[in-house]
Structure formats: C-alpha cells, structure tokens
Amino acid sequence: MANKKQSGLGRGIEALFEENNLDDLTSQESVQDIELTKIRPNPYQPRRTFDQKALKELAASIKKSGVFQPVILRQPDPKLERYELIAGERRFRASKLAKQKTIPAIVRSMSDEKMMEVAVLENLQREDLTPLEEAQAYQTLMNKLDLTQAQVATRLGKSRPYIANYLRLLGLPPEVKKLVSGGQLSMGQARTILGLKDRKKLVSLAKRAVDQNITVRQLEDIVAKMNGNTKKKTARRRRKPAYARAAESELQSKFGTKVAVAPGRKRNTGKIEIPYTNAEDFDRIMKVLNISLD
C-alpha cells in the first residue's frame, strides 16, 4: 500500500467537513492509496439506490483518468487494516466497476455519531436521496443517537415541521412506498393521501392518483370527500378555539402525524387523539413520548 502526499484538494471535501463542525482540516491532507478489498461501505449510508448508468459513466472516466477527489475513510480498529467509507460511495462503487485495485483516500478519526451525520448531509447536499430514503435517514438519526425531531432539525439545519413531514412518509403502506421510491407518486401526493381516515383505501387512492395523474389540490378534495367532510363540519372546525388549533399544529410537528385536539363540552376538558398507521409508527410515537413498553 503506497502512501503519497497531496495538497490543494479543492473545496468539495473541506466544505463538507467545515460546515458540519468536524475536526479542523489542515491545508494539506495525507492521501493514501487504499486497496478496495479492505474498504466496506458506510453502514449508515441512507441511499439505497444508485443510478447504474451514471456509475458506469463514472467508472469509464476513472478507468481513463483515475480518481481526482479522494474518498474519506475511517479505521474502526487501528490494529486491523480495515476501513469504512465516510464519504465518496459513488467513487468507491465506480472504482470497483472499473476493476481498480486501489483508491486515493484520506483516513480520519470519526465517531459513529459524526459518521452518521456526514453520511446524511453529504447526500442531502447533493440531492441524491429519494423522499423515503431521506425520511429513513432522519429516523435512523433519531433511533441511533436518541434524538428528538427538534434536535435532528437543529443539527441538519432544517425546520421541525420539515423533518416531521418526511417522517410521516414512513407510515405509508409498502405498495405506496414503492410508488414514491419509483418517482411515480410525489411527496406532496403521498402526504395528502396519508390524511385519508380509512387506511384500507390508501393503496387504491395512491394507484388512482398515479393512473389519473391527479394533482395534490385535486387529491385534497378527494380525501376530504372520502373522509365525509361536509360544509357544516368544515365550519365547525373553523370555530375550534385558537388554543386548540395552535396545540394541534405543535403536536403534529412533534409527532409527525395528524393530531386532533377536541375541546369537551365542560370547561377545561377535552381529548387529544394521536393516530398511528402500523407497529413501526406506534413505536416511533412511543419513543417521542419517552415511553418504553419493554
């Protein structure tokens, strides 16, 4: 394994690390040629699908000109010559396709927590994730690092409602998730369909939206009618006390699902309803509530 020094790596990698408050980078990095067989993919990589055509094109470029930007690795156990990818999975995969033996790399010390954040941010910055991959990435950060939605939002520079809206997608049935992953159903359409009270009709409505090219606005009307919303009910909802509407908005952001606050007939009484769509969604809500059923 030959080592070589390289300076002036460009702003791509440096910007990624500086923006995420990682260890300071010097103006010169130690770049090593690491054998591909000694590298394993990032275990926290949120992206599950890779454009094979783009990978082949990158592989052809690498075969002809080599890898210009080193990948970033970490060495979990200094005693073992084994590495994990932190950033640069496309270059890693393309290099394997190009039948390369080694790849230029920077080996850095990094915790699991920071590695997870970088994996998510690298893909978010490059817009490489599907909505469901992005949602699962946020869920993984919450589960692995024991974070709340608000904490994930702060770390990634997003708003809490933004994170909550993505997490809601995880409550979709598998058939609908496939439509979202395949780009046939947009995130806006999927979120609107999640408002359907009869969960058994989610799949059929999603397929109808795809087949008939139904817009989000049209879906909103369809969902309202299927839920049995009448003008009288709509007017009643509009008269809901301001505190109840505000509480619903806050709770929906916190739990990532629709929450209903219904004031009772007697003063200072009422109920709060938090629906869940499956076991995974139930567990997620319990975690937000800090309730363990074990």
Nearest residue to 70 via CA among 118, 131, 23, 8: 8
Q: Is 89 a catalytic residue?
A: yes
Contact 257, 275 (CB under 8 A): yes
Helix (H) or strand (E) holding 186: none
Q: How far is CA 106 from the centre of its chain?
A: 26
Q: How many residues does the chain have?
A: 294
- Give the torsion through C-alpha atoms of 10, 13, 17, 23, to 10 deg: -80
- Sole residue written with tokens 């319990």: 286
SS3 content of the chain, % helix, strand, coil (to 5): 55, 15, 35
Q: Which of 18, 29, 35, 89 is catalytic?
A: 89
Active site residues: 89
